[in-house]
Amino acid sequence: MCGIVAYVGPRDAQPILLDALGRLEYRGYDSAGLAILNGKGVEVRKKSGRIEELAKACRAKPVEGKSGISHTRWATHGAPTDTNAHPHLDASGKLALVHNGVIENYLELKQHLTKAGHKFSSDTDTEILAHLVGESFEHSKEKGEKCLIDAVRKALQKVQGTLGIAVLHADLPGLVVGARRGSPLVIGVGNGENFLASDTQALAPYTDRVVILQDQEIVALYADHFDVASPLGQKAVHVEKIENGVASSDKGSHPHFMLKEIFEQPETVRNAFRGRLDLEESSTKLGGLNLSLDQLREYERIFVIGCGTALHAGMVGKYLIETLAKIPVDTQHASEFRYSDSPVHPKTLFFAVSQSGETADTLGALREAKRRGFRCLGICNNVSSTIARESDGGVYMHAGPEIGVAATKSFTSQVVIFTLLAILLGRLHSLSAADSRRLIEALQQLPDHLHALLKRSDEVRKIAAKFASARSMLFLGRLANFPIALEGALKMKEVTYVHAEGYPAAELKHGVIALVDKDTPTVLVATHDGVYDKNLSNLQEVKARGGPILAVAHEGDQKIGGLADAVFSVPKTHELIQPILNVIPLQLFSYHTAVALNRDVDKPRNLAKSVTVE
């Protein structure tokens, strides 16, 4: 999983490639590289570390040339070193290739090439592909432009797995060949210049006209035109105009994007329900579902697929839909659903939840659900993403770009969308107008509650400073607050590297309690609800074993105040809306702990914002 940018045109390629790569850093940031045709041959620069390291190397020794390919990497095969960074060269040293994806049969191919005398300098699967394409090209008679395109096609027939690639050859200046199978690739159409990239956002400052390549397509990209071929032959393409929302790289007054995005939530939550409340009907309107109310009423079950934070939002959604609409909801890790044989009720409506809309596991699961004949809707933030395009309809989050790798504002937007959906489905079944009204009012009050809650950030910072030395933490909650506990634990792991586990509070006694000691804080989500007393018992169990307790509790809760070692106070709202408020101190807690530990908050080690490989 990685990001690709290529350029062919009259301008210097290096600054364009570096700039556009910067907008793809969310796809990986452990190493980066570029290859430019400098008039004499292929010149390569590659560096482990952030794109800034590559930029420094390029500033120290610029590469001059008008066509080039580049890459930002998230390591799959081979450690993130200079050598393993892309581009990779073929045996002749004249062909360079960058790759997004995984080649599953690379060992077999490597053995075959090694026998034929090929030598490899990296541990990557990508270098094998460069050699395969190079070998095929060298065997061609004319070694012309068409031969390079054919060589790519032939090499791809031999590889199994997902890929998006860009290739250039020293003897063919002014040509970049791109191909897509599973990993997204778009052509940016300029005036006398053309681009290739993993997403449209990378090209936002350069063009708003794009062609989204489909699977199995190959493009030959020149400065003044491009040709796209599918396995059936040459193909007429549709150039789309996209909205050029250049992602804001401005953190405002905040030191990190993560904090900025946490503080944006009063606004992003409002954007998620804006225009979607139907006060007259005491219901909600979700036109993007592309389903009439009668059609929607026909569904007997719902299935939510997603990964990481998105799945946690789906788990809150399950609770909301089952409570309000009495429709059974299954949630599953997208990666598990994709390969499972579990039977699914025929009247099931699927939801694929993904901030980026590019997560490979979620996309794979969506395709699998559709293949099995189910209608699959998307809940995405990125409107031009693959999941948004391939789903049968859905609901956009309108949360604006989320740049911090740890998802924050997208989570609360997703939960708001599930609330809207649960109200809509509830009103189609037995939810009363009065009960629905109370929920809608609570939604409308959310931005104000969030404002008030965020003012407590400094209190959370002080608690974080006190517990930052812990090497392990437990997060507990029940019912809709169980996924909040999971999300709290995930945030903690992601940005602090502190071991954290989320559990349903009652599971404590079934093993987890063995971890409790004076150095292992337990974060208990215990706002007033139907299981408040049960949570108090769990709190006592931890306390009895000397474990520090940090509780998320309603403002002024004296009982918890008297028992817990620290309290994250939250305003009281409707019980079903409360999880959206309860997650905020947990986001802040992980953020402030990460700062106290001097972590790279916005780009934690080993992670990527969007995981585009399985």
Site for ligand G6P in 386-405 (CB under 6 A): 405
- Does position 2 bind ligand G6P by CB under 6 A? no
Residue 548 CA to its chain's centroid (Å):
33
Q: Which of 1, 211, 259, 307 binds ligand G6P (CB under 6 A)?
A: 307
- Does position 309 bind ligand G6P by CB under 6 A? yes
**CA-to-CA distance for 442 and 462, rounded, in angstroms?**
30
Only one residue has tokens 């009065």, namely 434
Q: Which of 14, 48, 610, 612 binds ligand G6P (CB under 6 A)?
A: 610
- Does position 310 bind ligand G6P by CB under 6 A? yes
DSSP β-bridge partners for residue 568: 552
Minimum CB separation of residue 495 from ligand G6P in Å reads 10
Estimate the crossing angle of helix 409-428 against helix 265-273, to 10 degrees: 30
Pairing of the two strands 283-284 and 226-230: unpaired
Annotated active-site residue 307? The verdict is no
- Does position 308 bind ligand G6P by CB under 6 A? yes
Nearer of residues 162 and 309 to ligand G6P, judged by Cβ: 309
Minimum CB separation of residue 354 from ligand G6P in Å reads 3
Minimum CB separation of residue 450 from ligand G6P in Å reads 20
Task: From 174-182, 234-242, 301-309, 511-519, give the range in contact with ligand G6P by CB under 6 A.
Answer: 301-309
Nearer of residues 45 and 599 to ligand G6P, judged by Cβ: 599
Nearer of residues 84 and 309 to ligand G6P, judged by Cβ: 309
- Does position 76 bind ligand G6P by CB under 6 A? no
Nearer of residues 359 and 527 to ligand G6P, judged by Cβ: 359
Nearer of residues 9 and 308 to ligand G6P, judged by Cβ: 308
Site for ligand G6P in 160-199 (CB under 6 A): none
Q: How far is CA 307 from CA 93, 94, 262, 287, 360, in A?
A: 40, 40, 20, 25, 10
User: What strands, in cross-sheet order, belong to the sheet with 176-181?
Assistant: 88-89, 95-103, 161-169, 176-181, 218-221, 226-230, 233-235
Give the count of residues interacting with ligand G6P (CB under 6 A): 15
**CA-to-CA distance for 123 and 106, rounded, in angstroms?**
11
- Does position 607 bind ligand G6P by CB under 6 A? yes
Annotated active-site residue 609? The verdict is yes
Count of residues making up the chain: 614
Minimum CB separation of residue 28 from ligand G6P in Å reads 11
Minimum CB separation of residue 308 from ligand G6P in Å reads 3
Instruction: Give the DSSP letter of residue 467.
Output: H
- Does position 3 bind ligand G6P by CB under 6 A? no
Site for ligand G6P in 402-431 (CB under 6 A): 405-407
Backbone φ and ψ for 192, nearest 5 degrees, come out as 70, 15
Candidates 46, 318, 603, 609; catalytic one: 609
Q: Give the list of residues 6+ apart from residue 330 with CB closer than 8 angstroms, or none.
A: 301, 302, 303, 304, 318, 344
Nearer of residues 106 and 396 to ligand G6P, judged by Cβ: 396
Minimum CB separation of residue 163 from ligand G6P in Å reads 20
Pairing of the two strands 176-181 and 218-221: antiparallel
Handedness of CA 454, 458, 464, 466 (dihedral sign): negative
Pairing of the two strands 31-37 and 67-73: antiparallel
DSSP β-bridge partners for residue 381: none
Site for ligand G6P in 347-376 (CB under 6 A): 354-356, 359, 362
**CA-to-CA distance for 332 and 334, rounded, in angstroms?**
6
Instruction: Give the DSSP letter of residue 480.
Output: T
Nearer of residues 203 and 307 to ligand G6P, judged by Cβ: 307
Residue nearest ligand G6P, Cβ-based: 308
Q: Which of 67, 611, 612, 614 binds ligand G6P (CB under 6 A)?
A: 611
Q: Are 69 and 194 in contact (CB under 8 A)?
A: no
Which helix (H) or strand (E) is 179 found in, with range? Answer: strand 176-181
Which amino acids are annotated catalytic? 2, 609
Interface residue list for ligand G6P (CB under 6 A) = 307-310, 354-356, 359, 362, 405-407, 607, 610-611
